[in-house]
């Protein structure tokens, strides 16, 4: 039975956010459906063109977290 996959599902597959069952079904369908494969390859190309992103908290955020942690530890003491 031919299964249809949405662009959202292909993006989830690309980012390895699908379950094992979904991944296997998508991979199998990519082998059979040339149009789906073309769409996936376009998404893959766009994915590779994205700049790498690294998220890190600001020093102010780290300071606030540390202050909260200290206050919580003091309040938790008997």
> Above 90 in pLDDT, residue 4?
no
> Above 80 in pLDDT, residue 78?
no
Q: How many domains does the chain have?
A: 1
10 in a structural domain: yes
Mean pLDDT of the residues in the chain: 92
46 in a structural domain: yes
5 in a structural domain: yes
**Domain residues for 11?**
1-51
> Above 90 in pLDDT, residue 35?
yes
Residue 77's pLDDT band (cuts 50, 70, 90)? confident
Q: What does the pLDDT average to over 35-42?
A: 96
> Above 70 in pLDDT, residue 1?
no
CB 41 within 8 A of CB 14: no
d(CA 43, CA 7): 9
């Amino acid at each position: 039975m031919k299964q249809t996959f949405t662009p959202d599902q292909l993006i989830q597959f690309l980012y390895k956010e699908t379950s094992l069952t979904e991944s296997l079904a998508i991979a199998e369908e990519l082998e059979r459906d040339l149009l789906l494969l073309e769409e996936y390859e376009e998404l893959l190309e766009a994915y590779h063109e994205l700049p790498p992103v690294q998220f890190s908290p600001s020093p102010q955020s780290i300071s606030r977290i540390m202050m909260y942690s200290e206050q919580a530890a003091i309040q938790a003491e008997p």
